[in-house]
Amino acid sequence: MTSAEGLDSRIAVIGTGYVGIVTGACLASKGLDVTCVDLPTPQGQEKVDLINDGQAPIVEAGLGELIGKTVRNGNLRATTDLSMAVRRAGIVLISVGTPSAVDGSANTTYVFDAARGIAEHAAPEAIVATRSTVPVGTTRRIGQLFTSLTTKRLYPVSNPEFLAEGTAIADTMKPSRVVIGTDSPEIVGTRMERMWYPFLLNRAEHDLIITNPESSEMVKLNSNFQLALQIIGTNTVAEMCEINGADYRHVQRGTGKDPRIGKFLSPGPGYGGSCFPKDVRALEFLARQLGVESDFLRTLDATNEWHKIRWYEKIAEFYGGELVGKKIAVWGLSFKPGTDDVRESAALRIIPALNQHGAHVSAFDPLAQQTAMKELGNGRENLVYASDQYEAVRDADALLVLTNSDEYTRPNLGRLRGLMKSPIVFDARSIFDPKEMQQAGFYYAGIGRGVVDGRQAA
C-alpha cells in the first residue's frame, strides 16, 4: 500500500451544509475516517458543536441517527480548524455554497477560499474533489491556483453530488451514478473509485463515469437543467389544463407511461430550493458567455417565477382584486415537503404579495416555520404562524396549499369546512380530490384541472 492509499481512508469535507454533512456522514458510515470542516465563525462553531454532539445541523430525514452513530464510533468529527483536517487527509471534498451572483453566474468565492486553504495545508498527492455545483472550468482553475501557490502535487477533481433534500441519505448511499472528472484518470479515477466503491457494490459498471473535468461539471448543470425544464413544461401544461377542460392528473399518467420521459411531472407552484433556480440561471449565463443562442433560456427563470406568483393572482382574481381584510390560510412554507429549507419557495413570493394587498395570512408548515420566520418576519399582525394545519384555517376566507406534506395530505374535510369562514380552497399541489371537495361543499381550484364549486349543493 502506498502512503497515498493509507491516507485515502482519511477524508476531509469542507463545508457542513446539506451536501457536506450528508456526504461526510455517509462516508463515515462505510468505515472511512471523516473530518467535516466549517468556518471559525459563531455559526460555523455552532454547527461543528452540534455534529460533535452527535446531532444534525440541518433538518434531513435519518441524518441525526447517522451522525449520532458515526460520531459515537469515532469515524466522524467536525472542526473549524481546516489545517488540522486537511493535513491528515488523502482526499479532500469541497462542499461549500455557490450562490447566484446578480448576473446569474454562480459565485465561487467560497470554493476558491477553500482551495487556497487546502493548497497551503494538504498532504502531497492529495485529491481535492469539488462536490459543490460550480461553473464549467472551475476544477481546472483550482488546478491552476494550486500550481501558483504550491509545489506539492495535488489532484483537482470534479465529483458532483446528486442528492435531493429530503432523500439526501438514500441518494448518497445508493447513487444513481458517480461522476468523476479528472485529467489523471489512471491515478485519480482509481483512488476515487475506491472511496465510492462501497456505494456502488452490486451496481452496473456504467454507474461510474470517469471523464474530463469540464464534462463532469456539465453533467451536474445539465441534470438540474433538464429536470427544471421538465417542471416548467409541466406547470405550463397544467395551467392550460385549468382552462381547456383537460385534467392534468390524467395527462401526467398518460405522459409518464412513456419510458423516455422522466418522473418530474408533478405540477406545483414553480420549483424552488437552492439548486434549480440557481443552476438554470448559471446555464443561461454560460450560454451567453459562450455566445450560444439562448433566447428561450432567458425566459425560463421568469416563467418559473410566474408559476409561483400566479397562485397569488388566482386568489386576487377570485376576490375581484379586493383582498383587504381577507384571511388566507397557507399550508406549506418550504420549497418542498420534508425540509425546513425555504430558499426560493413559492410561499416567500406569495405571502408578501398577499400582505401587500391587505390580506392577513395564517401560515402552517410542519418543519419550516422557524426558517420562514427569519425570512418573512414574526410578530406582525398580518402574518401569524399557526400551531397546526387546522388552527391555520380557523375563520379563514380561503386556504392555499403550497406543499404536499404528509402531515396534511388526508385532512378531515368536515372539520376543515367547519373551521373555515368560507369553504374556498386553492390547491397548488393536487392534494385534494375535486369530486370529494365538491361533495363536501367546497369551491375548489386545483392545479392542472378546472374549478369545481360545491357551495350551492352543500
Grid-cell match 450560454, residue found: 287
Least separation in angstroms between CB 410 and ligand UGA = 19
Dihedral sign, Cα of residue 81, residue 87, residue 90, residue 96: positive
Least separation in angstroms between CB 286 and ligand UGA = 16
| Residue of 297, 269, 293 lying closest to 282 (CA atoms) | 297
Report residue 147 as a C-alpha cell.
Answer: 500550481
Least separation in angstroms between CB 350 and ligand UGA = 13
**Interaction site with ligand UGA (CB under 6 A):** 133, 161-165, 224, 227, 231, 264-266, 268, 271-273, 275-276, 335-336
In this structure, which long-range contacts are made by residues 142-150, counting pairs with CB atoms below 8 Å and at least 24 apart in sequence? 142/111, 142/112, 142/115, 143/183, 145/112, 145/115, 145/116, 145/119, 146/115, 146/119, 149/116, 149/119, 149/120, 150/119, 150/120
- In sequence order, the 6+-apart residues with CB closer than 8 A to the CB of 237 are 248, 251, 267, 448
CB closer to ligand UGA, 224 vs 355: 224
CB closer to ligand UGA, 229 vs 419: 229
Report residue 152 as a C-alpha cell.
Answer: 506539492
CB closer to ligand UGA, 75 vs 405: 405
Strands of 161-303, DSSP E: 178-181, 208-211
Q: Find the helix packing angle between 213-244 and 295-318, rounded to 10°.
A: 40
Please state, in angstroms and rounded to a whole number, the distance separating the CA atoms of residues 324 and 319. Answer: 10
CB closer to ligand UGA, 126 vs 134: 134
Task: Give the single-character DSSP code of 183.
Answer: S
In this structure, which long-range contacts are made by residues 68-72, counting pairs with CB atoms below 8 Å and at least 24 apart in sequence? 69/29, 70/25, 70/28, 70/29, 70/34
Instruction: State which H helix or E strand residue 13 sits in.
Output: strand 10-14
CB closer to ligand UGA, 70 vs 430: 430
Least separation in angstroms between CB 75 and ligand UGA = 24
- Collapse the DSSP code of 42 into the 3-class scheme (helix H, G, I; strand E, B; otherwise coil) and give the result: helix
Told to judge if 275 belongs to the known catalytic residues of this protein, a careful annotator would answer yes
CB closer to ligand UGA, 280 vs 323: 280
Judge contact between 154 and 89, C-beta under 8 A: no
Angle, CA 428 vertex, CA 426 and CA 429 arms, to 5°: 125
**Residue 452: CA count within 13 A, CB half-sphere:** 20
Report residue 310 as a C-alpha cell.
Answer: 400566479
* 249 CB neighbour count, 10 Å cutoff: 19
Least separation in angstroms between CB 127 and ligand UGA = 21
- Collapse the DSSP code of 446 into the 3-class scheme (helix H, G, I; strand E, B; otherwise coil) and give the result: strand
- In angstroms, the Cα distances linking 27 to 34, 52, 268, 361, 416 are 7, 16, 34, 43, 45
Active-site residue, from 26, 36, 241, 275: 275
The β-bridge partners of 129 are 93, 157
Q: Give catalytic residue positions.
A: 275
